[in-house]
Amino acid sequence: TRFSAYDSLMRRRNDVNSTVAAPVHYSMRSTTLGAPNKKNYIEELTKQLDTCQKRNQFLEAESVEMEKERNQIRFEMRALLVNNEDLLRTNAQLNNELKRMREQMIEMEKDNQSLRDSFRDMEVEVKEAREVMVEANTQEYAFNFLEQSLKNRIQDAEENLEKQTQHAQTLAEKLWQTERQLEEVEVDRGSRDKKTSELGSIIIRMEEELSEALQKSTQAQAEANLQQKLREDAKMRVDELEEALLEKDQEIQRLQVIVGKLQGEVSGKLIDKERTLEEEIQLRERLQLQCRQAERTVDDLTMELQSTNQTKDDLAKQVKLAQEKLIDLESELEELQDSEHRWAAKHKRAIEQTEQLQLKLIQEKDLNDQLETERVVMERQLRELRLEVEELHSSRVQEDVVSRAESRVKELENALRSEERNKSSLTNAVSKLEKRINEMNDQMEEEHRIATEQKELMTQRIRSLKRQLNEAEEEASRKEAQFRHTQRELAEERESNSRLQRQLLDQHLQSKYEPHTHTH
């Protein structure tokens, strides 16, 4: 059966302890009892030499086992180096993945910056749309106010026009009556002129007749008196007719003054009516201009709504791309976590291997301590053997035994030197192994720290990206609400514009129908 290194060392320590006591005892006997016991002492020395040979064989076997263990340690060190190379490769892969993730994060930051720029542009557009809507509301309010005032003015103008038309109708009736009266007066005047001409012709004829009568005065005085009476009657009638003509002329002049006044009033009222109609036409033109401006603002708002729809679609696409990138990042993070778990398992195996190496190192140190104690014991035995050899030289015992003892002492010295060399090489190997283990521990701790820092940075970047994505979604929902609000405002603006257009059309139709009614 093969014993472990610790059991073999413990057995060897017990053998050494059991073999150390005998030379001291025999040396004491040799010094105390003298020459008769030297043969037994030499036999004892030969036994000790045999035990030393056996011990050397055991040490050779142990050195073979130590060499095997060294080879195993070398293999384990090679495995550790291979694991370290694997860790370095995984670290390089992780660094490449981190670089790629950083590039993706930079691209996502650029996309986020572009989203922010588009959001700012949309905010500016929304502000402009709000300003336009405010202006449209103010214009609508002013338009409503102007429309109401125009309606009031139109009603007042219609009432005034009705009054003026009624007054004009009454004046026209009065004028017609005066014209009829003038015509009658002119007819009477014509008849009176005819009568006066007839009377003049009668007077001329009567004068002729009077001249004839004067010529024939002698013929008939009665006829002359009668003619004079007739003349007086004709003069009286002429005077009455002249007075009636003067009264008719005064009445005609008074009627002409009244007609002039009425014509002045009618012309002034017509001028005022024309002025009010011109003002109404100007107001109507201004209202039509405001309607056209409102239509243009509505068209601009529709264009802005189309652009906001386009930007909304772009935002939805960008949010979808960001979500896809986030899903890719989460999958890459899961792969990174899996690789980290694999790296942690490798790290755990490396720690277990280092612990095993440390246990072996402790065993090597224990073995080194045991070899040190054995060296001290062997040095003490060599000193004792030299003393015994000197005593044997002094007592001149058998030279071959002494020569064998000296050769055995030399062999033991050589074995001791070889053990010292093995011990020094073993201590060097142990120190190198400790140094290598410390370096590997430091390197693994550094790699673990770097990996944890990179993982924390990656998680922080992913959290910030999720937060930015949530903010982008909130901003998109807010923009959508603003878009719906602007759509409602646009619908209200279109409805108010259509209502104003209908009112303008009704007013235009009313303004068209009113002149026809007045003309009729």
DSSP 180-208: HHHHHHHHHHHHHHHHHHHHHHHHHHHHH
With 60 as the cut, is the pLDDT of residue 28 above it?
no
**pLDDT reported for residue 22:** 42
When pLDDT is averaged across residues 137-142 and rounded to a whole number, the result is 64
How many residues comprise the chain?
520
Listed residue (60, 65, 54) closest to 7, CA to CA:
65
Q: Are 405 and 50 in contact (CB under 8 A)?
A: no
Answer for the pair 112, 472: CB distance below 8 angstroms, yes or no: yes
What mean pLDDT comes out for the span 420-439? 75
CA nearest 313: which of 173, 62, 70, 122?
122
- pLDDT tens by residue, 338-373: 767 777 777 677 677 777 777 777 777 777 777 778
Q: 221-395 and 38-215 are packed helices; what angle lies between their axes, rounded to 10 degrees?
A: 170
Q: What is the CA radius of gyration of the chain?
A: 72
Report yes or no: 366 and 6 within 8 Å, Cβ to Cβ: yes
Give the model's pLDDT for residue 196. Answer: 64
Residue 459 confidence (pLDDT) above 70: yes
- For residues 55 and 129, what is the distance between their CA atoms, to the nearest angstrom? 104
pTM: 0.29
pLDDT tens for residues 59-118?
778 777 777 876 776 676 677 677 667 767 766 776 676 677 667 667 766 766 766 676
Amino acid (1-letter code) at residue 140:
E
Mean pLDDT of the chain: 69
pLDDT at 86: 75
Q: CA–CA separation, 397 vs 270, rounded Å? A: 175
What one-letter code names the amino acid at 185? V
Averaged pLDDT for residues 198-203: 65
Q: Give the number of other CB atoms < 10 A from CB of residue 13.
A: 14
Helix crossing, 5-33 with 38-215: angle to 10°? 150
**CA–CA distances in Å: residue 418 to residues 63, 194, 403:** 11, 186, 22
Q: How far apart are CA 191 and CA 211, in angstroms?
A: 29
Closest CA relative to residue 244, chosen from 255, 256, 236, 233 = 236
Of residues 266 and 481, the one with the higher pLDDT is 481
pLDDT surpassing 50 at residue 29: no
Whether residue 35 has pLDDT greater than 60: no
Distance set, CA 235 to CA 117, 196, 204, 229, 288 (Å): 115, 11, 13, 10, 77
Q: Which CB contacts under 8 angstroms, 24+ apart, belong to 86-95? A: 86/346, 87/343, 87/346, 87/347, 87/350, 87/444, 87/447, 90/339, 90/342, 90/343, 91/447, 91/450, 91/451, 93/339, 94/336, 94/339, 94/451, 94/454
Determine the Cα–Cα distance for residues 11 and 78; give it in Å rounded to an integer. 33
Give per-residue pLDDT as tens, 179-194: 676 677 667 666 766 7
- Closest CA relative to residue 515, chosen from 274, 171, 169: 274
Residue 327 backbone dihedrals phi, psi, to 5 degrees: -65, -45
Give the model's pLDDT for residue 164: 62
Burial tier of 329 (Cβ tally within 10 Å: 0-12, 13-18, 19+): buried
Residue with tokens 């040799």: 30
**Amino acid identity for residue 154 in this structure:** I
Helix, strand, coil percentages for the chain (3-state, nearest 5): 95, 0, 5
* pLDDT for the residue numbered 33: 42
Q: Which of 148-152, 288-292, 434-438 has the lowest mean pLDDT?
A: 148-152
> What mean pLDDT is predicted for residues 19-42?
49
Model pLDDT, residue 257: 79
pLDDT computed for residue 266 by the predictor: 65
Give me the pLDDT at residue 202, please. Answer: 63
- Of 144-153, 390-399, 410-419, 463-472, minimum mean pLDDT range: 390-399
Cα separation of 485 and 480, whole Å? 8
Q: How many angstroms separate the Cα of 57 from the Cα of each of 62, 370, 418?
A: 8, 17, 13
Write the burial class of residue 46 (CB in 10 Å: 0-12 exposed, 13-18 middle, 19+ buried): middle
Tell me, what's the pLDDT at 431?
A: 76
Distance in angstroms (rounded) separating the CA atoms of residues 391 and 467: 95
In this prediction, residue 3 has a pLDDT band, given cuts at 50, 70 and 90, of very low
Contact 12, 370 (CB under 8 A): yes
What pLDDT, on a 0 to 100 scale, did the predictor assign at position 500?
Answer: 73
% of the chain with per-residue pLDDT over 90: 0
Reduce the DSSP state of residue 3 to 3 states and report it: coil
Q: Note the pLDDT tens digit of each residue in 237-277.
A: 767 777 877 777 787 777 777 767 776 776 677 677 677 66
Tell me the C-alpha distance between 38 and 16, whole Å. 23
Query: What is the average per-residue pLDDT within 5-15?
Result: 52
Domain ranges of the chain: 5-519
Across residues 10-27, what is the average pLDDT?
47
**Res. 293 pLDDT band, cuts 50 70 90:** confident
Checking if the pLDDT of 53 tops 70, the result is yes
* pLDDT at residue number 117: 73
